[in-house]
DNA sequence: AGCACGCCGACT
DNA sequence: GTCGGCGTGCTC
């Protein structure tokens, strides 16, 4: 157990966007159980909020302190040693410390006061009598129906809601009071039943059911109520009188929810290849020092086995391990293999888990029951005490970057955390990021390689098809070229599966008015709508707004819409026409929206009940499809022309990844990539599956324009509902930055510019880009800028800081 | 963030 | 005259 608080005061970080911590007094009754890493309920202003104990304090400082109201944990959620890490993260990402900790912890652990309106007796009478103004009756009815309504949810419904409520309060029809909103994730307890040591003297009537229960309990020794219910469904009612008469002992105990089914028995590791053994050895010799390693291994070269050896080795030495994997729907192949190897010694943090299940995985770690964790980006915050190794699989993957809230990059944080724990960190990939390659060149990382595939599979053969040849062709040839068509046919004739990739969903992606020529745009966003035939409407992919499929042009009022442009849904229907005997399935965000649909599509692929599978990048990651021998890429350059310095890298990674889906089984694979730019270095490098070729071509561009990894970059995203106010605020922010840009080496401030997508969900968007070779200077000036009251006080415009942005769009 | 305070326009 | 709008500032 960690050291308890021994002082009269504690330092607390509250979950609010404030850049400071607060000092509270701690009553003796709470102090005996309190320690850093626990949550407390504290008064702040005139409400109660959740805070995290950071440290003990001998003095209150210059403030008049308030007392902690309650201790919300009986065991710390994170070790005291992690606080330094959280502070580092908060500083680096320029994000409030309390919010940083909240983002790091499992969700649903926040309690706070929420203002709620309750209908008074007078209000109920008034509602029944009628005669109230329409809107007042509406709000009152809502509050009555829900037995109290929070002010926040009301003003979300209707911006005028708060004003109406105040009127009602004045008339004494509602009462507004603070209600403590409890955490939504909790610890699960279960009842366990056993026989008492001595048979009770008190006799009760013994029915058949009661006898049965007693005999089951006698046999089991101790049994949970849940398993007892499986034998006797009415057990909960039956045990009560038995327990009261002393015939049974019933205790409530905390349990961990097990989301992954029955625990697996650990399997035995296979023999390592010579190459694998060398890599493992190299990293093991650096076991007790911070040593970042880039492990480049072609698909199928056995990286996962190397990871598992390193993790097992760290555990043997009494230390823990963190394994990061890309975020995908369902559990990935890598996660499954780790679980098979380490059984119940490993915690799994995955987006498919419920809040409570995630909390339990976290608690298992913080209680020291397990000291290995595998999971997507949030697992980098897992409360492992003495980390012996950190693994980042597919380190180039974009899902390591969180694109909302605390915009961290888990891959970068892995390196930081490894440094704090003096341990190796292994970044593995077949196609490493430009950033990591650069770190090898600059000798920040050392590089290890796995060049041979374990079972001697051959790498897929990749051919390019120039789509320019078929521009204006008849029928479907311009989209599914004859080369790709022939490829699919021969793949199907051999009884294999084909995967067709297009990173754009929907049926028609470019609806245009036949009479005035205007595109059909979203009324809330600055993008065109997409026709979804299955759902029979036009949909905006940014805000979700829909328009009926039979709509006339809203601009001229009469024109019919011509549905140009194509997405996965259209490719699916074209393939069904071209190959009427083939079974075609589609996997994208639309086809996997329903619960269980992802699983059912994956099962179809695995059981070979589909022949052609069309999909978006969802198909590119994490799942193994052994029967796929052909991968067709409809348009390799879709993401190439985006106005973003990482467009090439993203395209290269995506193409390399999809290509890797071909030939995972016995038969060699084939990849056909259709492109308008067959001579572009990105496409060529993807065809050659050569990350170094890509790196060598991309590096000069980045260097010339001072883009990462040759500089640090921070992007400010300024948005608001009012176009003029947003623009003015963006200009103000840029002015402040210019004023703060005094230290050498100076930063380069670009903008403000209007974002490429000028409006999303009725919010106008502006951007400022800051580049600087000095990490310290760029961080200092941006922190100072956001702390400026002139910037902070304007609440109708939001300023979001994206440190090391992945995409600038 | 949320909540109160305070200062100005358009209503009784 | 006040009711209620929002801009400003503070929370240990
Ligand atoms: Zn028109
Ligand atoms: Zn929209």
The answer to whether residue A201 scores a pLDDT higher than 80 is no
The answer to whether residue A582 scores a pLDDT higher than 90 is yes
Residue A352 to residues A39, A328, A375, A470, A672: CA-CA distances in angstroms?
Answer: 26, 9, 11, 43, 33
Distance A772 CA to C6 C1' (A): 38
How far does Cα A175 stand from its chain's mean position?
Answer: 40
**Nucleotide at minimal C1' distance from the A17 CA:** B1
CA of A552 to the centre of ligand 1 (A): 8
CA of A540 to the centre of ligand 2 (A): 5
pLDDT of residue A590: 93
- With b for 16 or more beta-carbon neighbours within 10 A and e for fewer, the A219-230 pattern comes to eeeebeeeebee
Give the ligand whose atoms come closest to the C-alpha of residue A541: 2
**Nucleotide at minimal C1' distance from the A11 CA:** C12
- Which pair of tokens denotes residue A466? 């120039």
Residues in Cβ contact with A156 at an 8 Å cutoff, skipping those fewer than 6 apart = none
The residue with greater pLDDT, A63 or A710, is A710
The residue with greater pLDDT, A330 or A325, is A325
> Chain B positions under 7 Å from a protein CB?
1-4
Lowest mean pLDDT among A516-520, A540-544, A545-549, A662-666: A662-666
Distance A134 CA to B5 C1' (A): 31
**Nucleotide at minimal C1' distance from the A15 CA:** B1
Query: CB–CB of A402/A377 below 8 Å?
Result: yes
The answer to whether residue A2 scores a pLDDT higher than 70 is no
Give the ligand whose atoms come closest to the C-alpha of residue A512: 1
Task: Tell me whether strands A497-501 and A249-255 are parallel, antiparallel or unpaired.
Answer: unpaired
* Alpha carbons A545 and A551: distance in angstroms, whole number: 14
CA A572, A573, A579, A583 dihedral sign is positive
* Alpha carbons A776 and A666: distance in angstroms, whole number: 52
CA of A755 to the centre of ligand 1 (A): 26
| Residues, CB within 5 angstroms of ligand 1 (ion) | A 513, 516, 553, 555-556, 559
- Which pair of tokens denotes residue A86? 């959280």
* Alpha carbons A592 and A599: distance in angstroms, whole number: 9
Distance A151 CA to B2 C1' (A): 11
Angle of the A691-704 helix axis to the A647-659 helix axis, nearest 10:
170
pLDDT in tens, A599-618: 899 999 999 999 999 999 99
Residues in Cβ contact with A475 at an 8 Å cutoff, skipping those fewer than 6 apart = none
pLDDT of residue A383: 98
**Nucleotide at minimal C1' distance from the A795 CA:** C7
Percent with pLDDT over 70 in chain A: 99
- Which pair of tokens denotes residue A25? 């007094």
pLDDT of residue A377: 97
Write the DSSP string, A669-734.
PEEEEEES-TTSHHHHHHHTT-HHHHHHHHHHHHHHTT-TTSSEEEEEEEEESSHHHHHHHHHHHH
Strand partners, A593: none
CA of A422 to the centre of ligand 2 (A): 47
Comparing every residue's Cα with the C1' atom of nucleotide C3, the nearest one is A167
Give the ligand whose atoms come closest to the C-alpha of residue A561: 1
Strand B: which residues have Cβ below 7 Å from it? A 16-18, 45-47, 113-115, 151-152, 178, 795
What mean pLDDT is predicted for residues A52-74? 95
- Give the confidence band of A311 by pLDDT, cuts at 50, 70, 90: very high
At residue A807's C-alpha, the angle toward residues A805 and A809, to 5°, is 120
pLDDT of residue A560: 92
Give the ligand whose atoms come closest to the C-alpha of residue A559: 1
CA of A546 to the centre of ligand 2 (A): 8
* A540 known member of a binding site: yes
The answer to whether residue A106 scores a pLDDT higher than 80 is yes
CA of A615 to the centre of ligand 2 (A): 23
* Alpha carbons A465 and A380: distance in angstroms, whole number: 41
* A635 known member of a binding site: no
Distance A722 CA to B7 C1' (A): 23
CA of A530 to the centre of ligand 2 (A): 10
Strand C: which residues have Cβ below 7 Å from it? A 16, 18, 20, 22-25, 42-45, 61, 63-66, 160, 163, 166-167, 170, 789, 793-796
**Nucleotide at minimal C1' distance from the A794 CA:** C7
Distance A216 CA to B7 C1' (A): 76
The answer to whether residue A262 scores a pLDDT higher than 70 is no
| Burial group, residue A549, by CB count within 10 angstroms (0-12, 13-18, 19+) | middle
Distance A46 CA to B5 C1' (A): 14
What mean pLDDT is predicted for residues A27-36? 95
Angle of the A410-420 helix axis to the A82-92 helix axis, nearest 10:
140
* Alpha carbons A42 and A665: distance in angstroms, whole number: 58
pLDDT in tens, A419-439: 999 999 999 999 999 999 999
Percent with pLDDT over 90 in chain A: 72
Give the ligand whose atoms come closest to the C-alpha of residue A517: 1
The H or E element containing residue A587 is strand A584-587
User: Which residue is listed with tokens 């309750």?
Assistant: A118
CA of A490 to the centre of ligand 1 (A): 44
Residue A158: CB atoms within 10 Å: 14
Query: For residue A517, what is the DSSP state?
Result: -
**Nucleotide at minimal C1' distance from the A790 CA:** C8
* Alpha carbons A355 and A108: distance in angstroms, whole number: 7
Distance A169 CA to C2 C1' (A): 18
* A513 known member of a binding site: yes
* A525 known member of a binding site: yes
* A543 known member of a binding site: yes
Residue A228 to residues A194, A214, A216, A222, A236: CA-CA distances in angstroms?
Answer: 11, 11, 8, 10, 9
User: Which residue is listed with tokens 């509902």?
Assistant: A721
pLDDT of residue A425: 98
- Which pair of tokens denotes residue A390? 């950190």
pLDDT of residue A472: 85
* Alpha carbons A524 and A542: distance in angstroms, whole number: 9
Query: CB–CB of A150/A115 below 8 Å?
Result: yes
User: Which residue is listed with tokens 């929420």?
Assistant: A114
**Nucleotide at minimal C1' distance from the A798 CA:** B1
What mean pLDDT is predicted for residues A369-376? 96
- Give the confidence band of A300 by pLDDT, cuts at 50, 70, 90: confident
| Burial group, residue A14, by CB count within 10 angstroms (0-12, 13-18, 19+) | buried
* Alpha carbons A344 and A238: distance in angstroms, whole number: 34
Most confident of A121-130, A154-163, A406-415: A406-415
Query: CB–CB of A42/A59 below 8 Å?
Result: no
* Alpha carbons A6 and A31: distance in angstroms, whole number: 7
Residue A571: CB atoms within 10 Å: 25
* Alpha carbons A655 and A308: distance in angstroms, whole number: 28
Comparing every residue's Cα with the C1' atom of nucleotide C9, the nearest one is A793
Average pLDDT, chain A: 92
Residues composing chain A: 809
- Closest by alpha carbon to A639, among A520, A502, A462, A478? A502
Lowest mean pLDDT among A40-44, A387-391, A571-575, A595-599: A595-599
Residue A358 to residues A233, A375, A607, A713: CA-CA distances in angstroms?
Answer: 29, 11, 31, 33
What mean pLDDT is predicted for residues A209-219? 85
In A343-499, alpha helices (H): 355-366, 410-420, 434-441, 482-493
The answer to whether residue A263 scores a pLDDT higher than 80 is no
* Alpha carbons A684 and A638: distance in angstroms, whole number: 15
CA of A529 to the centre of ligand 1 (A): 15
pLDDT in tens, A561-577: 999 999 999 999 999 99
Q: Give me the half-sphere count of Cα atoms (radius 13 Å) on the Cβ side of residue A703.
A: 7
- Closest by alpha carbon to A255, among A347, A190, A185, A345? A190
Q: Give me the half-sphere count of Cα atoms (radius 13 Å) on the Cβ side of residue A424.
A: 24
Distance A441 CA to C2 C1' (A): 72
What mean pLDDT is predicted for residues A490-501? 95
pLDDT of residue A81: 96
pLDDT of residue A304: 95
pLDDT of residue A241: 86
- Which pair of tokens denotes residue A17? 């966007």
What is the model's pTM?
A: 0.94
- Which pair of tokens denotes residue A645? 């310095």
pLDDT of residue A368: 95
Lowest mean pLDDT among A267-271, A489-493, A504-508, A514-518: A267-271
- Give the confidence band of A264 by pLDDT, cuts at 50, 70, 90: low
Query: CB–CB of A709/A702 below 8 Å?
Result: yes
Q: How far is it between the farthest Cα atoms of chain A?
A: 95
Give the ligand whose atoms come closest to the C-alpha of residue A513: 1
pLDDT in tens, A720-755: 998 989 999 999 999 999 999 999 999 999 989 999
- Give the confidence band of A227 by pLDDT, cuts at 50, 70, 90: confident
Give the ligand whose atoms come closest to the C-alpha of residue A522: 2
| Burial group, residue A269, by CB count within 10 angstroms (0-12, 13-18, 19+) | exposed
What mean pLDDT is predicted for residues A500-528? 95
A681 phi/psi in degrees, rounded to 5: -60, -30
* Alpha carbons A319 and A316: distance in angstroms, whole number: 7
User: Which residue is listed with tokens 């709509």?
Assistant: A551
CA of A758 to the centre of ligand 2 (A): 11
What mean pLDDT is predicted for residues A695-713? 97
pLDDT of residue A93: 98
Residue A674: CB atoms within 10 Å: 24
3-state secondary structure of A575: helix
pLDDT of residue A638: 92
> Chain C positions under 7 Å from a protein CB?
4-5, 7-12
* Alpha carbons A269 and A302: distance in angstroms, whole number: 12
3-state secondary structure of A473: coil
End-to-end CA distance of chain A: 47
Distance A173 CA to B12 C1' (A): 22
CA of A787 to the centre of ligand 2 (A): 32
């Amino acid at each position: 157990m960690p050291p308890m608080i021994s002082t009269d005061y504690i330092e607390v970080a509250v979950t609010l966007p404030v850049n400071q911590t607060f000092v509270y007094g701690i009553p003796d009754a709470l102090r005996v159980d309190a320690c850093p890493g626990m949550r407390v309920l504290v008064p702040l202003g005139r409400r109660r909020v959740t805070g995290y104990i950071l440290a003990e304090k001998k003095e209150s400082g210059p403030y008049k302190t308030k007392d902690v109201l309650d201790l919300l944990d009986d065991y710390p959620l994170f070790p005291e040693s992690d606080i330094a890490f959280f502070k580092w993260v908060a500083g680096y990402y320029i994000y409030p410390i309390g919010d940083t900790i909240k983002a790091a912890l499992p969700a649903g652990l926040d309690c706070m006061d929420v203002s709620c309106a309750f209908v008074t007796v007078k209000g109920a009478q008034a509602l029944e009598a009628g005669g109230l103004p329409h809107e007042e009756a509406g709000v009152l009815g809502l509050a009555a129906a829900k037995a109290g309504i929070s002010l926040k949810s009301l003003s979300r419904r209707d911006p005028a809601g708060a004003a109406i409520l105040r009127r009602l309060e004045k008339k004494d029809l509602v009462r507004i009071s603070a209600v403590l909103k409890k955490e939504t994730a909790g610890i699960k307890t279960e009842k366990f039943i056993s026989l008492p040591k001595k048979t009770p003297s008190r006799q009760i009537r013994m029915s058949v059911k009661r006898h049965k229960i007693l005999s089951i309990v006698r046999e089991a020794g101790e049994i949970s109520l849940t398993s007892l219910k499986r034998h006797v469904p009415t057990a909960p009612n039956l045990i009560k009188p038995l327990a009261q008469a002393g015939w049974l002992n019933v205790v409530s105990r905390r349990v961990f929810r097990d989301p992954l089914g029955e625990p697996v028995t650990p399997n035995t590791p296979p023999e390592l290849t010579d190459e694998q053994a060398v890599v493992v050895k190299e990293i093991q010799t650096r076991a007790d020092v911070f040593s970042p390693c880039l492990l480049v291994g072609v698909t199928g070269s056995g990286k996962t086995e190397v990871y598992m050896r390193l993790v097992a080795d760290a555990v043997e030495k009494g230390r823990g391990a963190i394994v990061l994997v890309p975020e995908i729907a369902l559990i990935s192949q890598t996660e499954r293999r780790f679980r098979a190897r380490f059984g119940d010694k490993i915690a799994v943090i995955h987006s498919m888990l419920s809040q409570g299940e995630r909390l339990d995985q976290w608690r298992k770690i913080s209680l020291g029951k397990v000291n290995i964790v595998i999971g997507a980006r949030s697992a980098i915050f897992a409360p492992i005490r003495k980390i012996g190794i950190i693994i980042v699989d597919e380190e180039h993957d974009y899902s390591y970057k969180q694109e909302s809230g605390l915009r961290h990059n888990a891959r970068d944080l892995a390196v930081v955390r490894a440094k704090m724990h003096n341990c190796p960190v292994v970044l593995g990939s077949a196609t490493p990021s430009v950033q990591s390659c650069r770190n090898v060149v600059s000798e920040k990382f050392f590089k290890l390689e796995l060049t041979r595939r374990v079972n001697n599979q051959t790498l897929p053969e990749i051919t390019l098809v120039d789509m320019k040849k078929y521009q204006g062709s008849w029928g479907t040839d311009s989209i599914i070229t004859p080369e790709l068509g022939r490829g699919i046919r021969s793949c199907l004739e051999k009884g294999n599966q084909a995967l067709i990739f297009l990173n754009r969903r929907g049926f028609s992606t470019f609806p245009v008015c036949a009479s005035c020529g205007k595109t059909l745009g979203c009324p809330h966003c600055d993008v065109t709508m997409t026709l979804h035939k299955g759902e029979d409407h036009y949909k905006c992919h940014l805000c979700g707004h829909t328009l009926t499929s039979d709509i006339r042009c809203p601009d001229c009022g009469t024109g019919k819409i011509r549905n140009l442009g194509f997405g996965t849904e259209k490719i699916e229907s074209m393939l069904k026409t071209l190959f009427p005997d083939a079974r075609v399935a589609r996997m994208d965000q639309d086809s996997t929206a329903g619960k269980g649909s992802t699983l059912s599509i994956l099962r179809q692929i695995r059981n070979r009940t589909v022949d052609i599978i069309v999909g978006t990048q969802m198909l590119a990651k994490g799942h193994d499809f052994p029967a796929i021998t052909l991968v067709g890429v409809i348009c390799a350059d879709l993401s190439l022309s985006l106005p973003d310095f990482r467009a090439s890298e993203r395209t290269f990674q995506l193409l390399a990844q999809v290509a890797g889906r071909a030939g995972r089984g016995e038969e060699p694979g084939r990849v056909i990539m259709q492109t308008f730019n067959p001579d572009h270095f990105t496409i060529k490098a993807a065809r050659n599956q050569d990350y170094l070729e890509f790196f060598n071509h991309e590096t000069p561009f980045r260097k010339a324009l001072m883009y990462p990894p040759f500089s640090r970059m921070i992007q400010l995203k300024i948005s608001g509902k009012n176009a003029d106010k947003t623009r003015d605020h963006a200009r103000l922010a840029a002015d402040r930055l210019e004023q703060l840009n005094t230290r050498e080496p100076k930063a380069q401030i670009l903008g403000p510019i209007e974002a490429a997508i000028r409006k999303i969900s009725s919010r106008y968007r502006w951007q400022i880009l800051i580049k600087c070779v000095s990490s310290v200077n760029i961080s200092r000036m941006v922190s100072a800028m956001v702390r400026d009251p002139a910037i902070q006080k304007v609440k109708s415009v939001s300023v979001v800081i994206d440190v090391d942005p992945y995409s600038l769009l």
